[in-house]
Amino acid sequence: MHDAKVRGGITVTDIRPPRKLAPYSHAVGLEVDRLLAGDARDDGGEAAVPVNIPTDADGDAFGRLILLHDPGTDEGPTIMKLVAYIQADLDSSVAQDPLLPDVAWDWLTEELDQLSEDGDSADSAERGESSPAAAFSDLGGTVTATASSRFGDIAGPASAFQIELRASWTATGTDLSGHVTAFAHVLANVAGLPPEGITAIGSR
């Protein structure tokens, strides 16, 4: 997962995975750094090996990707389950769009479908298959848009809007770097980051 290449403006770090859900687990946290969103990565786009383990998120958009690995037995197959969570603040105009949940889910499915097309084409050709094998299966989840109003002595804006995406899927291969890359692209879309190489007006 640390070999994943992610776009500028997103940082990847280790976080503590949940315990007792699988024999083996690992988790990474992704956070949006808008000051870096328009800049190229000095390391060629590769995520640095994390050195700290954050327990919370300070930014307005972040994601968590958790690997639950069961190596299986003679009676059952190896299972590589990925559990994903994204939370991001929204403008009121975006939050009130009734198509927002569908669009956010489409971002995830499109990125995973692209992962299948890109990541498995070479392997399929070597095996003599006419089409690439899917890089994932059993995808499911929810997208929730919320509106909050603050009253009394609570700091912050009077109204706030957020989106939450929760999903899980099974990885059908052992190379998980592409799944992290795809997840980072979804986070960038949800957070409204400009395409790489383009700086939003007023961001500098």
For the beta carbon of residue 130, count every other beta carbon within 10 angstroms.
6
Report the distance separating Cα 62 and Cα 28, nearest Å: 11
For residue 97, is pLDDT > 50?
A: yes
- β-pair partners for 14: 28
176-183 average pLDDT score: 93
pLDDT of residue 34: 66
Domain around 137 = 10-191
Report the distance separating Cα 91 and Cα 50, nearest Å: 31
Residue 180 lies in a domain: yes
Report the distance separating Cα 105 and Cα 100, nearest Å: 9
The number of domains in the chain is 1
Residue 141 lies in a domain: yes
The mean-pLDDT minimum among 5-9, 53-57, 106-110 falls in 53-57
The whole-model pTM stands at 0.76
Dump pLDDT digits (tens) for 3-43. Answer: 888 888 899 999 998 888 888 899 999 999 866 554 434 44
